[in-house]
């Protein structure tokens, strides 16, 4: 019997030529080096503001996160406010592990990740190898074919496909794992993926990747109901043009905006997503439609599809879009829409999601 090939059977490709990168490691699209005095002054202000925020966060979480649980219990509103403003990038990996519950999973399962990577085999290995080059191809960490970044991504995805053979591997999972690997080690990224899909803190996400994508179908139904309720004129226009959320919003839920959104915005959304749960995906989606409402309502089908997949740059500004998203209330409507979805489909899909939403809704 022929042995199945793994990532270790492939030699790393050539190292890509060096090109200018942004602060997150992505290849710059605009390579202009010119900065006027105003831009430099603003940059200096932002660095100082970031330094102040880092000092506050270090005091809040303690060394290695030792004070986190105590502080979060004592001052949950402070924690929520600071997370919504954005976690400092140098602390993001650690804080994500603390707020997701993945650090506890890691400590409770020593040696498990190594066992899954080294000693187990997965039926999805060839699919993972085929797909890894499509994950953040413009990021320096993942650019080299079969290089260190792609091997780390392969290991995490392979390990999860063995850990949960029912879910196995689905292409959209690569963007979740890839995003996590930019901020933490392989083992840490694996356990955060487990925490998300199995529901360590919030409702389990595994239904996004199971056969038939059952949770995607539910979320799209809920989002459609929210659009009709909160943006009735746009909802009616979508109906007239035969536009439904599956045509533009599926990737929002499957990859939590990491697939095509600007990276700074995706990170800010992930900060809140890991702390507050999936409702932020609904809120951001509604905020985008609300922000672009007057333009979208004038467009016919083909232009509408293009606009819904290519939002303008100003709409993608985190400091403009996220406050709008935070102002939108969705918990009660999400619960009602889920009940309606369950009624129509004759099945019970209840979870802890509603409890979390009611607790954390402002």
Per DSSP, the residues of 44-107 read HHHHHHHHHHHHHHHHHH-GGGTTHHHHHHH-HHHHHHHHHH---GGGHHHHHHHHHTHHHHHH
How large a percentage of the chain has pLDDT more than 90? 74
**What is the pLDDT, as a whole number, of residue 25?**
72
CA end-to-end span of the chain: 59
Confidence of residue 37 (pLDDT cuts 50, 70, 90): low
- pLDDT of 303-322, one tens digit each? 999 999 999 999 999 999 99
**What is the pLDDT, as a whole number, of residue 68?**
93
Each domain of the chain, given as residue ranges in start order, spans 53-85, 89-202, 214-350
Longest dimension (CA), the chain: 67
User: Residue 356 above 70 pLDDT?
Assistant: no
3-class DSSP assignment, residue 221: helix
**What is the pLDDT, as a whole number, of residue 102?**
96
Check: pTM over 0.75? Answer yes or no.
yes
| Mean pLDDT along residues 312-336 | 95
Burial class (CB in 10 A: 0-12, 13-18, 19+), 2: exposed
**What is the pLDDT, as a whole number, of residue 355?**
43
The span from the CA of 350 to the CA of 203, in Å, is 9
The span from the CA of 244 to the CA of 235, in Å, is 9
| Mean pLDDT along residues 108-112 | 96
Number of H helices, E strands in the chain: 20, 0
Return mean pLDDT, the chain. Answer: 89
Which of the pair, 270 or 34, is modelled with greater confidence? 270
Phi-psi region of 277 (alpha: psi -120 to 50; beta: other; left: phi over 0): left
**What is the pLDDT, as a whole number, of residue 10?**
67
**What is the pLDDT, as a whole number, of residue 11?**
66
**What is the pLDDT, as a whole number, of residue 1?**
43
The span from the CA of 203 to the CA of 223, in Å, is 17
Could you tell me if 351 and 199 are in contact, meaning their C-beta atoms sit under 8 angstroms apart? yes
- pLDDT of 39-66, one tens digit each? 566 677 778 888 899 999 999 999 988 9
Could you tell me if 285 and 333 are in contact, meaning their C-beta atoms sit under 8 angstroms apart? no
| Mean pLDDT along residues 234-243 | 96
User: CATH number for the 214-350 domain, one of 1.10.472.80, 1.10.10.60, 3.90.78.10, 3.40.630.10?
Assistant: 1.10.472.80
3-class DSSP assignment, residue 279: helix
User: Residue 36 above 90 pLDDT?
Assistant: no
User: CATH number for the 89-202 domain, one of 1.10.260.40, 1.10.8.270, 3.30.1450.10, 3.30.70.1430?
Assistant: 1.10.8.270
**What is the pLDDT, as a whole number, of residue 138?**
87
């Amino acid at each position: 019997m022929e042995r199945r090939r793994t990532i270790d059977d492939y030699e790393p490709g050539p190292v890509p030529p060096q090109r200018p990168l942004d602060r997150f490691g992505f290849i710059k699209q605009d390579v202009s080096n010119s900065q006027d005095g105003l831009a430099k002054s603003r940059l200096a202000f932002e660095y100082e503001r970031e330094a102040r925020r880092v000092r506050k966060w270090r005091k809040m979480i303690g060394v290695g996160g030792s004070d986190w649980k105590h502080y979060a219990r004592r001052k949950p509103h402070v924690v929520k406010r600071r997370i919504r403003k954005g976690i400092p990038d140098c602390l993001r990996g650690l804080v994500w592990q603390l707020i997701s519950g993945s650090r506890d999973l890691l400590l409770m399962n020593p040696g498990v990740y190594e066992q899954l990577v080294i000693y187990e085999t997965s039926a999805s290995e060839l699919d993972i190898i085929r797909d890894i080059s499509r994950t953040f191809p413009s990021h320096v960490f993942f650019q080299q074919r079969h290089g260190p970044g792609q091997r780390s991504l392969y290991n995490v995805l392979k390990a999860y496909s063995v850990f949960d053979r029912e879910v196995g591997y689905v292409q959209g999972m690569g963007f979740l794992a890839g995003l996590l690997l930019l901020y933490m080690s392989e083992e840490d990224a694996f356990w955060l993926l487990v925490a998300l899909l199995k529901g360590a803190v919030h409702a389990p996400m595994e239904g996004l990747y199971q056969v038939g994508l059952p949770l995607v179908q539910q979320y799209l139904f809920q989002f459609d109901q929210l659009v009709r309720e909160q943006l009735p004129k746009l909802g009616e226009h979508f109906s007239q043009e035969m536009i439904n959320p599956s045509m533009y919003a599926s990737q929002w839920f499957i990859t939590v905006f990491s697939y095509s959104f600007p990276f700074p915005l995706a990170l800010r959304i992930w900060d809140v997503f890991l702390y507050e749960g999936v409702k932020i995906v609904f809120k951001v989606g509604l905020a985008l439609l609300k922000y672009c409402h007057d333009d979208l309502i004038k467009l016919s089908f083909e232009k509408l599809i293009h606009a819904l997949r290519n939002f303008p740059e100003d709409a993608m500004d985190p400091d403009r879009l996220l406050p709008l998203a935070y102002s939108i209330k969705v918990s009660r409507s999400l619960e009602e829409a889920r009940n309606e979805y369950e009624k129509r489909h004759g099945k019970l899909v209840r979870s802890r999601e509603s409890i979390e939403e009611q607790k954390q809704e402002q």
